[in-house]
Amino acid sequence: MKDGKKLHLNLRSFVLREDAHGYNRWERVTTRKSFPCRKSAILICDMWDRHWSRGASERINQMAPRVNEVIKVARRKGVRIIHSPSETMDFYAGTPARRRMIEAPYVAPPPPIEHVDPPLPVDASDGGSDTGEKPWYRAWSRQHPAIEIDQEKDGISDDGQEIYNFMQKEDIKNLIIMGVHTNMCVLERSFGIKQMVRWKINVILVRDLTDAMYNPAMPPYVSHEEGTRLVVEYIEKFWCPSILSRDLVSDCQ
């Protein structure tokens, strides 16, 4: 069976290399690769309807329409969409998209591979809100309503094992992650970058459809936008490559 339509993606990563003078330097590398749409999935991490941080909520509100635009295009081309708004599964209980994930037969993942795990470049020990809210509380009840769920095709889960089961059932080899927050949930959830990389899944981050929880009053004392950029580069150096969302819209052919 032919794979059909493909994603043509510009994968950005950083490689540590020695220059002509013997100095170690991080070099940005962009590689163009193609992946079958039907063997690829987009996972939307924790794009909730509301966040305890006003700054985080405002940025999610701005991002959600673009997320929806991108997944609509990708879905039409055969890319599977997985919605992962953690801690809100009760809201989706009994829906076809939720049952689709629960009913996928169990597949034991491989033993996690060893992987270097350096410290993050930003300090979010204060919770990371740039608008001053403290302390943390559960403000969310569902995924952001601007992000549409196709009950006939999509999946809903906040459990890494369920998502792994579904990917194996559907022969999905490539997991494209967008959503929030890059230095927390996107990296650390049971379905996040670190776990999926350790399970030998080919993971890709969408760097313009993500955000960090970072307060400029904390080290390294840079703007919120710069803090997010530093976290994205950290991921590109140590965990997985990134793409821009325009790749998914213009190059899903």
The answer to the question of residue 28 being in a domain is no
pLDDT of residue 252: 54
User: What are the phi and psi torsion angles at 228 (to 5°)?
Assistant: -65, -45
d(CA 146, CA 238): 32
Residue 32 lies in a domain: no
Q: What pLDDT does 1 receive?
A: 38
Neighbours of 153 (CB within 10 A): 14
The answer to whether the CB of 231 falls within 8 A of the CB of 214 is: yes
pLDDT in tens, 43-81: 999 999 999 999 999 999 999 999 999 999 999 999 999
d(CA 53, CA 132): 8
Question: Would you say 244 and 207 are in contact if contact means Cβ atoms under 8 Å apart?
Answer: yes
Q: What is the pLDDT of residue 118?
A: 97
Query: Is 15 among the domain residues?
Result: no
The residue behind tokens 């509380």 is 137
Rounded Cα–Cα distance for residues 188 and 174 (Å): 18
21 domain residue, yes or no: no
Is 84 within 8 Å of 192 (Cβ atoms)? no
The structural domain count of the chain equals 1
232 domain-assigned: yes
61-76 CB burial, b ≥16 within 10 A, e <16: eebbebbbebbeebbe
The pTM for the full model equals 0.96
Tokens read off for 210:
């993500």
- pLDDT lower than 50: segments of the chain: 1, 253
Query: Does any domain span residue 103?
Result: yes
Cis previous bond, 220, omega within 30: yes
- Is residue 26 in a domain? no
Residue 84 domain-assigned (yes or no)? yes
Domain range for 56: 37-250
Query: What whole-number distance in Å separates Cα of residue 132 and Cα of residue 124?
Result: 13
User: Which has the closest alpha carbon to 190: 180, 199, 200?
Assistant: 199
Task: Round to whole Å and give the CA distance between 70 and 235.
Answer: 22
Residue 175 sits in a domain of what CATH number?
Answer: 3.40.50.850
Beta carbons of 203 and 239 less than 8 angstroms apart: yes
